[in-house]
Structure 1
Amino acid sequence: MAVPGKKIPKTFSSSSTMGSDEDLKVYCQPCDRDGPQLPAHGYCVDCREHLCETCFVVHKRHTLSRHHTLLDKNSMPQSISSVSVHPTQPDNFTKSCPKHTKEIIKFYCQNHKALLCSVCVTLEHTGTSCKVNYIPDISGQVINSKEHQDILKAMDNVTEQCRKKSEDVKKITAKSNSSLADVLADIKKFRTEINQRLDELERQAEDAAKTIQKENNKNLKTVQTACDDVTKSLKTTSDSIKHLNTSKQADKLFMELKLAEQMIKDYEKRVHDLEAYDVKEYNFKENKAISTLLEKESSLGTLAEKSLKQPSPPPHVDIKSRQTSHQGKICVKTSKDKNICWIKGMILLTPDLLIITDCGNKAVKMVDTSSQSVTYQLQLDTGPCDVTSVTSTKLAVTLPVNHNIQFISVSSNKLKKKQTLKVDGYCFGISYCQGKLVVSFRYSGKLQILDTNGTILTTVKGENIFSRPEYVTTNTNSIYVSDRELATTTKLNWQGEVIGSYGGMTEPKGITLSDDGSVFVCDYSRKVIEEIAGDFSTGKVVLKDLNDPNAACLCADTCKLYFSCFTGQDKHDNFLQVFKLS
């Protein structure tokens, strides 16, 4: 039977026995498998194979074997008996390469931590930076190794995380389904209340109709009774006159005729007075608001989400040091303006499109920040205050004098007035988020959360919370309000609960948010803009020595901060200041 590294002479059969004193020549084992017999020139200790001269040279150069220990012809084992022969192991390589599906994975790259086939090695991992190993050469070390234990532990950890996640979702789903059961009950209750209210309105309309019917019948009876009395009295008098005339009783006839004249005058007046009983026809005119509501509204209500998880307190945030540079100013006064500009509110629709409210000139203006010019101006009947974007093509502006919120459409670089929404007070600040409007009421010291139809969802009020709230801004987690009189900036959740307050200012006004959760506030009296950390623990002045900063807006894309001034002077108030933050 042939042994690797040796060849049985062809003159012997496979069953022949060779003498022990006969020294068999050692041949190249790789060539012996598939090619001609060539004498061995060296030996690879790692591969445990004799190599011919060509294989010996290639073995030293190949990526997979260049680090193997090679013995030259003089040092190599001179007979097969001196080489440890190991029984052939079964082929354990069965996993196909994901890149080369016809190849089997047999190698591992230490540098890229990748399993490889021979094609991968040849094409992608032949560089000097890659340390590639033949898997059988290194696989023995993984048995009961730390890596083996760590991998199993990591798998157990992920399994445990999945189990906990499944349990958590199960609990949350149960709570959600329970809340939805309450929702269904509330829908039924709401519908019942609507039905009861409609029944009440129906009864009121029916009672009104029945009252008119009753009055009509009463008037009819009065007229009929009066007419019957007149007719009966006149007939009696007429019969008497006819009798006296027939019987030629001149004296009595004379008196009766004179009495009849007076009676006729009295009865004519009485009949004339009956004309006051004017009877009208009626028809039913439906309430337009109710009929329009039923046609216009697409749902009985909405399902508002509420988190089933306990909110975790925000981590303490250190305000990073910012570099600021003045980028110039934008003139916002136009030929239509008769007064000094008083920019009370601003919102960016895109990095190049800024919307501002000019209370001094009763206008909403569209500003192109690239060309630094006003491109459109919409005149209003009264001075607007704050502005927010409802959608990319819809704005909402507070009109405090009229107690209105004016909706404005944005299309084709134009602004157009749409519907208005009545509110119950001097509305000042406004912000829109997730289908809700948050509005501050400057002189009634309150904040309201409304839907876009004007339904009040939440009212926040209290002398320890607000006194003169002005500017409002929001994100999906929180509501931020500056109170000019209390000199505080307050942070609330969407349930209206105070979750933070910062009092390190003197007269906070305009407020704007950054993407990292910090808040920029115009401190009007101190003539600075201060940045408050997201957890409201600290604050730091980022711009100082300003000219009475009033309203502000931050562009996250360009890191530019826009703000207006309110000094009563043209040279300051007619311009927006632009600063770069970094």
Structure 2
Amino acid sequence: MAVSGKKASKQFSSSTTMASDEDLQIYCQPCDEEGPRLPAHGYCTDCKEHLCKNCFTAHKVSRASKHHILQDATNMPKVLQQPSTSIHTGQSDVLTTPCLKHSKEMIKFYCNDHTKLLCSVCVTLEHQTTSCKVDYIPDISGDIIDSKEYQVILNAVNTTCDKFQQKVEDVKKMTYKSNSSLKDALAEIKKFRQEINQRLDELERQAEDAAKVIEQENNKHLKAVETTCEDITKSLKASSDKIKQLNTSKQADELFMELKLAEKTMKDIEKKAIEFSSYNIKEHNFKANVAILSNLKAEKSFGTLTQRTLNKEALPIQIQSRQSSHEGEICVKTSQDNKKCWITGMSLLTPDLLIITDIDNKAVKMVDTSSQSVFHQLQLDDWPWDITTVTSADLAVTINQKIQFISISSNKLIKKHTVKVDGDCYGISCYQGKFVVSFAEPAKLQILDLNGTIQTTIDGNNIFKHPWYITCNRSSVYVSDKDMKTVTRLNWQGDVLGSYSGMSGPRGMSLSDDGTVFVCDTERNVIEEISGDCSTGNVVLKNLKSPYAVCWCGETKKLYFSGRHGYEKYDNFLHTYKLS
């Protein structure tokens, strides 16, 4: 088996010109590549190589070459031969596919027992020919062109592609059905609320009707009393006038009788007064049916959304293409700045309020995205790197070996307390009262509570070399690594769930409202959107100038990013694009 090396040119030239005694001597070609030079003891007609005694013996034992035809010293060619070439027409015998385990070795063998492609190191360490049936690939690949195996595997590949394409269509249909069912469920919720409102309206009308009946009875009684009292008053007044007249005219007989009649009338009226006083007029108050309110308070939800699995098969999340439009730039350089800006971190509090860190000017700035201006700036004693929102009015900034808390009051940034951490920290992201912080030396992540107490430490090992930026949600933590050139997805326990490696210089990241991740790639001058499972990605903005930090606003569909290009007319601005 021919192996290229430093001495090959000398050996091959000797097949035509042998100018010295050394050139007349034929040496073992495999040993000649690494030294020492040993005289040839035989020749392999398959490999077209001269072999020393040890290589000759090993050649007969190795499973990969034991069927080769060997010639002893008497019958072997007396001049060096050209390196062996493939028996396949137009195909080079030089195998150039590197081994996944041993990157400096090329794949040359195939283990039939384990169905694995191997390099020479794999054969030596794990698939020795005494225990595995190992073949040298050029020896067994001669009939592979247009073979039955070729057709079978090609058909299987095409079938699998068609299957996954169909899966995408199936998932689209099921997603549409799921979203439609949610719309129907929301309509049922509104209908249920209307039914509750209608029942409450009925009960309210019943109470109102009962009150109206009582009111009508009260008014009817009042009318009767008024009429009766008016009649009595008129009668008594008439009797009083007559009595006065009879007394004045000295008509004693008539006066006597009128007085007796008035006396009797007064007794009858007293009975009527007693009858009126016995009528029960009541004051009314409302006593609520507390059972209705208690039942409502006891309920924890308006109802439940029941679920039925449409398909249990999991597929990679597909990224939809987006249309972009340039919305303009926001100048973030202020009169307080002594240097050009280098914006390394961003955090959006509201669609109109963006907070940024300017490391070169040691500042945290409040940016009004509506007026496109900086309206407050907080100077720090050291260089801030990244920033995250803690609450609607509180933020946290990584500064060397500490986390600086900052609050917003009266449209101003105010420094609060600091929390020390055990290393130089870079990226930071907060979710539900927990920080995830990245460290470069050594490479690691830490999950902290708001007091700085370490909850979990995730060592870099083979996961990270220089974790740079972090963003997180309920289920995942995403980390961009500038040296590994990857975006890695982990769960909150530190287990790796996925990794996206199609990048050259990943930097700042921002989560979208549908779970994808926008990532700045400074080396390729693009911003890429990768799926939440890190399986796929699409470039959404290209031909940029070293994009560095990025922030997404889901409400306005705007993407803000900074640059680190080295020119003030570019680095002093935030660049805004609308994506749809």
TM bracket (short chain): 0.3 to 0.5
**Could you state the TM-score of these two structures normalised by the residue count of structure 2?**
0.46
Report the structure number with the largest CA radius of gyration: 1
